[in-house]
Amino acid sequence: MIFKHLMVTLALLLPVSLFSQETPAAPQAAYPGEKSQWEGCDRYDFKVSGRDAIVVVPKEAAPGRPWIWRPAFFNAFASVDKALLREGWHVAYYDVTHLYGSPRGVSLAKAFYNYTVKAFDLAPKVVVEGFSRGGYFAFNWAATFPETVACLYVDAPVCDITSWPGRGSELWGDFLQEWGVRDDAVDSGFRGNALQLLPRIAQARIPIVACCGAADRTVPYEQNMRPVRDAYEALGGIVEVIVKPDCDHHPHSLDDPEPITDFIKRYAPGYADAQRIRVRGGLDHSLVAMSQGGREVTVAFLGGSITEMRGWRDQVKEDLQQRFPHTVFHFIDAGISSLGSTPHAFRFEEDVLSQGVPNLLRGEEVLSRQAPDLLFVEAAVNDHTNGFGPREQVLGVEGVVRHALAVNPQMDIILLHFPYEPFIGMLKTGEVPDVILNHERVANHYHLPSADLASEICARMQAGEFDWKQFGGTHPSWFGHKFYAAAVASILDACTKPAGKYVLSVPASLPAPLDAACYEAGVQVPVTAARRLRGFRLVQDWVPDDGAATRAQFIHLPVLACEKGGSLTFDFDGTAVGLYCICGPDSGVLSYTIDGKTYPPVDSYTAWSRNLHLPWVYVLADDLERGHHVLELKILSGKGSGCHIKSFVVNK
């Protein structure tokens, strides 16, 4: 299905730094033909080899002088053309509408291409845009001159000439005459249909985005783009399809073309040059699962506020649904503001693995536990801003990874490292933040794909593409989130292989951990497990009454609370123990012993506690011997003498 206000993959304005610093416009006196206006820009009409040609020149050309070219139906359903024109793309048209992608038509179009690239000083790679029968030309052009194609955008395309115009139609004879073939030869040895052309297109790794109506009666989706999409994916090609459920052949395209234009801009030459992605072990298991249309696939997003907010997560969902339009996706949204890898490790069971998945294929309402096929994890910003040290950063992220792989050894995991202002300052001086290096240690050890968005965004800002304010800061604008989604899309692209080339075997066991104390068996234990309560009371429906703000997930839940000091005892079995607190204006100092051993006290009043009840996991000890232990906790006065415990955390 299509979500009009979400995007597919991403791009943005094409980066200045990735092309020449200045891209001078060709002198207007050199432009051929009759000048007029289209969408407020100069339009030039001329002829090449006796056929109509049009080029619309943007007010200011984008770096690299990109262009999009229609072989048929200029100005019909032109939302994509208009959007790209506004962003500095040239829009071109050459009329080969009734030549059915024939060798003659392709040859004439090559003369137009050669002339136009030179006359208008355009990029050597063009986006070929084929609507309906124009799609038939687009596939034939790409197979004949793949070196000229940045990507294909086809819309309700004719892929099989026997489907449209079809035998017995008025245009069938025109097609046979133009191609110079007999009727009976079309079924044997004819090489003009898209399915026959795909191997050469796939060899060139030409990305394809398509927009189709599921109810198309003129050029039926199931006879045209559907088999082409499936075959191209099997060849390892990059293909995305937007399927409009109730749409006939018209209207073409989308009222809001962002999902299409973002795909197109992403494949403009130079965009990926600034990306910092690492593929490592790939995504074989999840890509195979997603490519098997008709099955259910679970994707989870584990992170902080940047994952919780509307942005990259929504865009990646849209991209996945367009890459695999016949797969039933279940998404688990596990982004919670302020939380980094340590709380991620202890909440993984509750917030990810225990989330119910409905059997959508059978229409059943009953929810069942299901481990994700694909997991995204981000924690770098909160690990740094919340003051977790280098070892804790590994204990948390490695704990999540090992817990996930223990539950589902075939789970694919992608680590993402987002920027915030202190990271930008470090990177400008050539220093990579320690937390990114520590998370990358884990990615390397377990061969996980990753994307260093902090380094990418810093590089793009230094190149002058945008500034921190334009990007949107730590919590980016929709514009900024597009870069994050683009990095994920590039990882998916890089991991895509032809059918049969994926490796689905898994190691008999996990490698030895980087740190044996990692929180790989982290769980939450209900506060009802506490005993010998002094000053604490169980509040079944806790809501703060001091006027301070809260996180939405941390109210109306059972909390073990004290206001003026208190003590408790907690028995547990495990190698690490801690408290999942909600720290606010009254938070005090945690004084404790474990098995009679006294540990240094911990002040639970955070830098944000004055105005916010903040979720925080305090690991009180992480190197305990395996077995049974007893925690004795007292709350002392600090900024306050209160404590609100959501749960105990234990590494079992």
Q: For 71-89, how does the pLDDT look when each residue is reduced to its tens digit (9 = 90+)?
A: 999 999 999 999 999 999 9
Whole-number pLDDT of residue 515: 97
Give the pLDDT mean for 21-26: 39
pLDDT band (50, 70, 90) for residue 295 = confident
The beta strands (E) that lie in 304-402 are given as: 328-335, 356-358, 367-369, 374-378
Whole-number pLDDT of residue 5: 33
Residue 633 pLDDT > 70: yes
pLDDT band (50, 70, 90) for residue 2 = very low
Residue pair 55/121 in contact (Cβ under 8 Å)? The answer is: no
Residue 627 pLDDT > 70: yes
Residue 154 pLDDT > 80: yes
If 0-12 CB within 10 Å is exposed, 13-18 middle and 19+ buried, where does residue 569 land? middle
Give the pLDDT mean for 43-50: 97
Whole-number pLDDT of residue 18: 31
> To the nearest whole percent, how much of the chain has pLDDT over 70?
93
- Mean pLDDT, all residues of the chain: 92
Strand order of the sheet with strand 90-94?
34-38, 41-48, 51-57, 90-94, 67-70, 126-131, 149-155, 208-213, 239-244
pLDDT band (50, 70, 90) for residue 22 = very low
Residue 479 pLDDT > 50: yes
Give the pLDDT mean for 53-69: 96
Q: Going from the N-terminus, what domains does the chain have, and what CATH number goes with each?
A: 20-269 (3.40.50.1820), 274-495 (3.40.50.1110), 522-651 (2.60.120.260)
> To the nearest whole percent, how much of the chain has pLDDT over 90?
87
Whole-number pLDDT of residue 111: 98
Whether the CA torsion 228, 81, 179, 183 is positive or negative: it is positive
CA distance 107 to 104: 5
Question: Which residues contact residue 563 at a Cβ distance below 8 angstroms, ignoring those fewer than 6 apart?
Answer: 586, 641, 642
Residue pair 253/212 in contact (Cβ under 8 Å)? The answer is: no
Give the pLDDT mean for 574-581: 97
Who wins on pLDDT, 103 or 295? 103
CA distance 425 to 95: 53
pLDDT band (50, 70, 90) for residue 562 = very high
Whole-number pLDDT of residue 3: 35
Helix, strand, or coil (residue 282): coil
Whole-number pLDDT of residue 16: 32
Of 18-32, 50-64, 298-312, 525-539, which range is least confident?
A: 18-32
What backbone torsions phi and psi does residue 24 show, to the nearest 5 degrees? Answer: -65, 140
pLDDT band (50, 70, 90) for residue 109 = very high
- Cα–Cα distances in angstroms (integers) from residue 595 to residues 96, 185, 572, 574, 626, in the given order: 83, 86, 11, 13, 13
Give the pLDDT mean for 383-396: 97
Residue 26 pLDDT > 60: no
CA distance 491 to 506: 20
Whole-number pLDDT of residue 499: 93
Residue 540 pLDDT > 70: yes
